[in-house]
């Protein structure tokens, strides 16, 4: 089944002939691989309007529709006919799992690495600009290089940068690649915040209770007695390397190097590490609360990703954690919108 959407752009606006920041309230966009809507949220806050969002995760689609105008569809991008779409922008957070360092051995066999082609298909509708977000390795892999090369052949001026979200108002170190393209002349990247203005874990979640209710977004993974004993022994900012030998796993005793983030405790006075999809599991990284003997809750992870508390998530605990970890931080997406506003 092919989905076709004959959207009509608002009268009186033609971005291909130049535009100004005051026009931003009329910008209409499509969000591909939209997830729960982190990329859309920041754009909407700046006045952009989502016309349709496409994702194959039913829970993420429900979350998107719970927070926006019900424009998200659960569909495969290959089933969408973009030729009749008349919108101003395409934004896309292409699935990144195939480009992560742990996926090096299987990159050539990961079908998700070819999903960028649907962005090129969408560009035949000639939106005035596009934004693509992914992990930094995307730029070095054939998928990223091909996307840049082919979009330039379509007439877009294209620039790519790796940005750290902590430099743009997000309380976590999260390096991501952004590829932006424009049919207009200007692409002006927003200035990063000064070092002294970086937000910390305490800025994001310091007002939340240490003891949790185990309801709603106040949920996290329940640790086993053995894991809980280890967590209790970890000092502020520490990790598995700080555990006494009696609490170390046999494999940890054999391998004294490696990731220092496993069973790591966050620091109040520093930004968080990148919030990934399993942040509710303390064994997966530095996701232990700075004081409480538990992993981060869904709410705390969402806060560190800059989702407002009023944002409504749909799904079970693991699904919501996945949606949060996969998202573009909304504050970051708001900054990315300025790439075009400043350059217009």
The catalytic position among 74, 96, 251, 316 is: 96
How many Cβ atoms from other residues are within 10 Å of residue 157's Cβ?
A: 16
| Separation CA 233–CA 250 (nearest Å) | 17
Q: Is 251 a catalytic residue?
A: no
Name 85's Cβ contacts closer than 8 Å, sequence gap at least 6.
5, 6, 7, 30, 51, 122, 125, 127
Instruction: State the DSSP H helix or E strand holding residue 32, giving kind and residue range, or none if neither.
Output: strand 28-32
User: Computed over its alpha carbons, how large is the radius of gyration of the chain?
Assistant: 21
**Phi, psi for 320 (deg, rounded to 5):** -65, -40
Token digits for 252?
């940890």
228/270 Cα distance (integer angstroms): 24
Q: Helices H, strands E: what count in the chain?
A: 10, 9
Tell me how far apart the alpha carbons of residues 86 and 19 are, in angstroms, rounded to a whole number: 17
C-alpha span between 316 and 311 (Å, rounded)? 16
- DSSP conformation letters of 311-332: PPP-S-HHHHHHHHHHSPPHHH
Cα 220 from chain centroid (whole Å): 20
- Any idea which residues carry the catalytic annotation? 96
């Amino acid at each position: 089944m092919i989905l076709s959407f004959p959207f009509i752009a608002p009268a009186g606006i033609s971005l291909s002939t130049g535009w100004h920041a005051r026009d931003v309230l009329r910008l209409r966009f499509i969000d591909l691989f939209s997830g729960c809507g982190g990329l859309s949220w920041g754009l909407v806050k700046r006045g952009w309007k989502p016309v349709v969002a496409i994702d194959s995760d039913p829970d993420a689609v429900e979350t998107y529709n719970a927070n926006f105008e019900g424009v998200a569809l659960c569909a495969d991008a290959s089933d969408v006919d973009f030729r009749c779409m008349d919108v101003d922008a395409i934004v896309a957070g292409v699935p990144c799992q195939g480009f992560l360092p742990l996926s090096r051995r299987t990159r050539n066999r990961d079908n998700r690495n070819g999903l960028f082609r649907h962005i090129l298909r969408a560009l035949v509708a000639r939106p005035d600009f596009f934004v693509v977000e992914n992990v930094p390795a995307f730029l070095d892999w054939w998928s990223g290089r091909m996307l840049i090369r082919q979009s330039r052949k379509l007439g877009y001026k294209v620039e790519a940068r790796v940005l750290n979200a902590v430099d743009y108002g997000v309380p976590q170190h999260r390096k991501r690649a952004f590829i932006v393209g424009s049919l207009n002349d200007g692409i002006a990247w927003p200035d990063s915040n000064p070092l002294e203005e970086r937000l910390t874990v305490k800025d994001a979640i310091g007002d939340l209770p240490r003891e949790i209710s185990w309801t709603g977004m106040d949920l996290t993974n329940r640790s086993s007695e053995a894991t809980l004993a280890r967590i209790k022994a970890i000092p502020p900012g520490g990790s598995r390397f700080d555990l006494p030998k009696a609490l170390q796993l046999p494999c940890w005793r054999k391998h004294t190097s490696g990731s220092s983030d496993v069973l790591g405790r966050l620091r109040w006075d520093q930004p968080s590490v990148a919030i990934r999809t399993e942040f509710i599991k303390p064994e997966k990284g530095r996701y232990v609360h700075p004081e409480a003997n538990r992993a981060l809750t869904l709410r705390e992870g969402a806060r560190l990703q800059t989702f407002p508390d009023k944002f409504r998530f749909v799904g079970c605990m693991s699904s919501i954690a996945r949606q949060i970890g996969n998202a573009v931080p909304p504050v970051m997406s708001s900054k990315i919108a300025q790439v075009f506003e400043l350059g217009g």
